Chains A and B, each alone.
Chain A
Amino acid sequence: MDILLQNIIEDGFFAAMAAIGFASISHTPPRTFIVCGLAAAAGHALRYVMMSPSLGNIHIVLASTAAAFVIGLIAVLLAPVVRVPAEACLFPSLLPMIPGMYAYRSIEALISCVSSASPDNAGSLYSLAFNSITCLLIVLGMVIGANIPIFLFKKISFQATR
């Protein structure tokens, strides 16, 4: 149990680091970094718990959607505190959950598909379908999850910079 707790904390910590770094690439105001880190840590750690075979064992698409909802909630509620649009807190916090490996592997499989005409190469087609569909569903689930708080708290979301 101690190791699991350590893993959850570690997951949240590194997700926060990743969110802050990616926030800096997008020229997010530095006052927003702490909110991005907090939201990313909470969301990513939740996803880790939900996906963990010994705890939730939930599929990555559903887990990402639920985690994005939590990230959205934190971002929307704290955006007025740092006076930035909700997206400025939300998007960098979501970035650590972007399925980059699935996206990369989809393109790799696409290139592999045309590299050989042999029927033995059918695995590339399977890899392309699996990775691209999973990638699309994760991103879609994340955005749906993250947008629910924006619609629930419309007034807060769009008046954060007022």
Chain B
Amino acid sequence: MSSTISTPVADGYTLADAGDFIADYTAWLWGCGATCTRIEKNAGRIARALGYDICITIMPKHISLTLSDPSAGCRAIYQRAMVNCGINFDLNARLSALSWKIADKKLSFSQARQLLEEIIATPYPTTQLTVLLTSLANASFCRLFGGDADAMLVVFAATFAGFELKGMLLKAGLDVRLVFMMCAFVSTIVAVGAQLFGWGATPDIAIATSVLYLIPGVPYINSASDLIDRHYLCAMSRFMDACVLTACLSIGMCAGLSLMELSSI
């Protein structure tokens, strides 16, 4: 993926080693949901600590970086496909901490490479605690929109069912858009129970908020954040990704409402 210029420098790494390392690092940082500003800052920090100048081009599916060695007068271009690992702030925090460890010379290059491998190999399974907290979060959302206690209970159950299904389907390797449609469909069907059985005074709020746990909030915020930093292509890409997922959950919800013979809420 790179033109090969191997200029040996102190501490046992070459321009090619550093380029591969930073390219991997930035691809994972994007994948875990970092903003373009953070990617540029962290990558620049690492490159400077290793003694190189860097110029980064961030595209929605790929990253391209030009690393140059001012002392040797040589440069090379490295490209990577972005990693698709889902929003993960723990990964973001650990990768950011790694960049500072390199900048503060607390790690040698080989140790930094080893730590990066450890960080990206860490599994992040969805635990039952996450399912419980998400269900509670969506029930709280229902309350914020004016739902009563019955509606909150229904939303809790709808979210629990949908989120469990989401975990199973993603594990089975289904396309994320299809997963969003199916989860929204199931959550809506569960929530419609409030209307059918006359539970509580706000069944409409229960139905409307039952799918809000699927709204891709972080990509929407990241998109606007990139827009402010004039990364227009990335901003548009993240916005469109979020819109597609929102459309998928709306389709799932509409299908659920149609099946239960409710035209709208």
B partners with A: yes
- Determine if A85 and B254 form an interchain contact, defined as CB atoms under 8 angstroms apart: no
Number of B residues whose C-beta is below 8 Å from A?
A: 53
Q: Across the two chains, which residue of chain B brings its CB closest to A36? A: B89
User: B130 touches which one: A25, A101, A103 (CB < 8 A)?
Assistant: A25
CB proximity to B under 8 Å, residues A67-118: 83-85, 87-88, 91-92, 94-96, 98, 100-101, 103-104, 106-108, 110-111
- Determine if A29 and B89 form an interchain contact, defined as CB atoms under 8 angstroms apart: yes
Q: Across the two chains, which residue of chain A brings its CB closest to B264? A: A108
Q: How would residues 97 to 141 of chain A score, 1 for a CB under 8 Å from any chain B CB and 0 otherwise?
A: 010110110111011000000000000000000000000000110
- Determine if B38 and A104 form an interchain contact, defined as CB atoms under 8 angstroms apart: no
Contacts of B218 in A (CB 8 A): 26, 91, 95
- Determine if A147 and B133 form an interchain contact, defined as CB atoms under 8 angstroms apart: no
User: Does any Cβ of A come within 8 Å of B211's Cβ?
Assistant: yes
Q: Decide yes or no: A111 and B89 within 8 Å by CB, A87-B38, A95-B217, A96-B144 being known contacts.
A: no
User: Does any Cβ of A come within 8 Å of B230's Cβ?
Assistant: no
Q: How would residues 1 to 30 of chain A score, 1 for a CB under 8 Å from any chain B CB and 0 otherwise?
A: 000000000110011011111111111110
What distance in Å separates the Cβ of A135 from its nearest Cβ neighbour in chain B?
Answer: 9
- Determine if B134 and A22 form an interchain contact, defined as CB atoms under 8 angstroms apart: yes
A26 to B86 CA separation, bound complex (whole angstroms):
8
A66 to B44 CA separation, bound complex (whole angstroms):
32
Q: Decide yes or no: A107 and B247 within 8 Å by CB, A18-B140, A21-B133 being known contacts.
A: yes
A98 to B212 CA separation, bound complex (whole angstroms):
10
What distance in Å separates the Cβ of A157 from its nearest Cβ neighbour in chain B?
Answer: 10
A77 to B140 CA separation, bound complex (whole angstroms):
26
Contacts of A28 in B (CB 8 A): 89-90
Contacts of A19 in B (CB 8 A): 137
- Determine if B221 and A21 form an interchain contact, defined as CB atoms under 8 angstroms apart: no
Contacts of A60 in B (CB 8 A): none
Q: Decide yes or no: A101 and B38 within 8 Å by CB, A95-B217, A161-B93 being known contacts.
A: no
- Determine if A104 and B228 form an interchain contact, defined as CB atoms under 8 angstroms apart: no
- Determine if B88 and A83 form an interchain contact, defined as CB atoms under 8 angstroms apart: no
User: Does any Cβ of A come within 8 Å of B190's Cβ?
Assistant: no
Q: How would residues 85 to 106 of chain B score, 1 for a CB under 8 Å from any chain A CB and 0 otherwise?
A: 0011111110011001000100
| Number of CB contacts from chain A to chain B under 8 A | 155
User: B134 touches which one: A24, A104, A147, A162 (CB < 8 A)?
Assistant: A24
What distance in Å separates the Cβ of B155 from its nearest Cβ neighbour in chain A?
Answer: 11
User: Does any Cβ of A come within 8 Å of B76's Cβ?
Assistant: no
Contacts of B138 in A (CB 8 A): 18, 21
A10 to B253 CA separation, bound complex (whole angstroms):
29
Contacts of A98 in B (CB 8 A): 215, 217, 220-221
Q: Decide yes or no: A17 and B93 within 8 Å by CB, A24-B129, A95-B218, A162-B100 being known contacts.
A: no
Q: Decide yes or no: A91 and B96 within 8 Å by CB, A17-B137, A85-B38, A144-B228 being known contacts.
A: no
User: A111 touches which one: B104, B137, B250 (CB < 8 A)?
Assistant: B250
- Determine if A87 and B35 form an interchain contact, defined as CB atoms under 8 angstroms apart: yes
What distance in Å separates the Cβ of B224 from its nearest Cβ neighbour in chain A?
Answer: 4
What distance in Å separates the Cβ of A154 from its nearest Cβ neighbour in chain B?
Answer: 10
A27 to B97 CA separation, bound complex (whole angstroms):
16
Contacts of A91 in B (CB 8 A): 89, 217-218, 221-222
User: Does any Cβ of A come within 8 Å of B107's Cβ?
Assistant: no
Contacts of A94 in B (CB 8 A): 217, 221
What distance in Å separates the Cβ of B87 from its nearest Cβ neighbour in chain A?
Answer: 5
CB proximity to A under 8 Å, residues B74-133: 87-93, 96-97, 100, 104, 124, 129-130, 133
- Determine if A18 and B144 form an interchain contact, defined as CB atoms under 8 angstroms apart: yes
A20 to B228 CA separation, bound complex (whole angstroms):
27
What distance in Å separates the Cβ of B208 from its nearest Cβ neighbour in chain A?
Answer: 6
A100 to B216 CA separation, bound complex (whole angstroms):
9
8 pairs from A and B in contact (CB 8 Å cutoff) = A17-B136, A21-B135, A85-B93, A104-B208, A143-B225, A147-B228, A161-B93, A162-B104
